[in-house]
């Protein structure tokens, strides 16, 4: 069973920068896993932020960016706003019978 | 404008079969590269992908739940149906359906989501 691992929690100050990562139990994450990132606030459905490693949806604020970093997928928030406090999930595409797998989520606190 | 909405029972008994319907608008499941997926989230826990169906009727299932899941589509009604057999209290969760698109622009799973429906499994 493939496992996708994220930091359970991170804290950042308003205006600061923070990087969330996403690792695969199968090895290094590459662009072929088409990393996606989602934001979820309490009581709401998830919202897509990043697809295929670094592409932003039309609604994604410019302060969010995606990349590959040290064998992991990464989501960087620059100039963090209080409204960025949320749970963030990554998703990796494994193809075939495995399909896609969500990470366990990172709870981001803005303090 | 793409919208999706889940419907189905809010309460099922253990061992029963759950049937959920996703009714969508703003896209067609007969368009190349388009798909619909189901994802669930137990209270206070992480998202879990369940199943996907593509425009060409290709179907994919979570390996851990494959034996219990069936996903089908009715293109004329703009609906996707998920059935899950042998429900257990651990299956209590909010169930979401979401739009998927793949093509030259990349792989965009779950760019649009329904509001979700809470299903409780209890006797």
Evaluate whether A70 touches A5 at the Cβ level (below 8 Å). no
For residues B103-123, b (16+ Cβ closer than 10 Å) or e, as one string? eeeebbbbbbbbebbebebee
Q: What would the mean pLDDT of B76-80 be, rounded to a whole number?
A: 97
Tens place of pLDDT per residue across chain A (111 aa):
899 999 999 999 999 999 999 999 999 999 999 999 999 999 999 999 999 999 999 999 999 999 999 999 999 999 999 999 999 999 999 988 889 999 999 999 999
- Rounded CA separation B109/B49 (Å): 11
CA dihedral B84, B89, B93, B98 (to 10 degrees): -10
Question: Under an 8 A CB cutoff, do A45 and B113 touch?
Answer: yes
Model pLDDT, residue A98: 82
Q: State whether the Cα torsion B59-B60-B61-B67 is positive or negative.
A: positive
Of A101, A86, A48, A27, nearest to B65 by C-alpha is A101
- Rounded CA separation A71/A56 (Å): 21
Evaluate whether A18 touches A10 at the Cβ level (below 8 Å). yes
> Phi and psi at residue A10, in whole multiples of 5°?
-145, 150
Model pLDDT, residue B29: 97
Model pLDDT, residue A76: 98
Nearest to B48 among A38, A57, A102 (CB): A102
The model's pLDDT over B8-41, given as tens digits with 9 standing for 90+, comes to 999 999 999 999 999 999 999 999 999 999 999 9
Model pLDDT, residue A81: 97
Model pLDDT, residue B4: 98
Of B104, B19, B115, B102, nearest to B55 by C-alpha is B102
Alpha carbon distance, N-terminus to C-terminus of chain B: 40
Note whether B1 contacts A: Cβ–Cβ < 8 A.
Answer: no
Model pLDDT, residue B103: 83
Note whether B24 contacts A: Cβ–Cβ < 8 A.
Answer: no
- Rounded CA separation A45/B5 (Å): 12
Best mutation target among B106, B115, B116 (most A Cβ atoms within 10 Å) is B106
Q: Which pLDDT band, with edges at 50, 70 and 90, does B106 fall under? A: confident
- B105: pLDDT strictly greater than 80: no
Best mutation target among A55, A99, A104, A105 (most B Cβ atoms within 10 Å) is A99
- Rounded CA separation B66/B118 (Å): 21
Note whether B35 contacts A: Cβ–Cβ < 8 A.
Answer: no
Q: What is the mean pLDDT of chain B?
A: 96
Model pLDDT, residue B107: 87
Model pLDDT, residue A1: 84
Model pLDDT, residue A34: 95
- Rounded CA separation B115/A93 (Å): 23
Beta pairing class for A9-12 and A106-110: parallel
Model pLDDT, residue B34: 96
């Amino acid at each position: 069973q493939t496992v996708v691992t994220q930091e359970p929690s991170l804290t950042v100050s308003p205006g600061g920068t923070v990087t969330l990562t996403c690792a695969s139990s199968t090895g290094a994450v590459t662009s072929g896993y088409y990393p996606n990132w989602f934001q979820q606030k309490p009581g709401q459905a998830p919202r897509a932020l990043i697809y295929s490693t670094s592409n932003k949806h039309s609604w994604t604020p410019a302060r969010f960016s995606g990349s590959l970093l040290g064998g992991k997928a990464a989501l960087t928030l620059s100039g963090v706003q209080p409204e960025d406090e949320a749970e963030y999930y990554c998703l990796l595409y494994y193809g075939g019978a495995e399909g896609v797998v969500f990470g366990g989520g990172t709870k981001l606190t803005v303090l | 404008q793409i919208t999706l909405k889940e419907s189905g029972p809010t309460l099922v008994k253990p061992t029963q079969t759950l049937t959920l319907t996703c009714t969508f608008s703003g896209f067609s499941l007969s368009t190349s590269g388009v798909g619909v997926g189901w994802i669930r989230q137990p209270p206070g826990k992480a998202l879990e992908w369940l199943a996907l169906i593509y425009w060409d009727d290709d179907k994919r299932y979570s390996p851990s739940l494959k034996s219990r899941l069936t996903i089908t589509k009715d293109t004329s009604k703009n609906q996707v149906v998920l059935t899950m057999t042998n429900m257990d209290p651990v299956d209590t969760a909010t169930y979401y359906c979401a739009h998927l698109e793949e093509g030259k622009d990349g792989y965009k799973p779950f760019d649009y989501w329904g509001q979700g429906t809470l299903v409780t499994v209890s006797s």
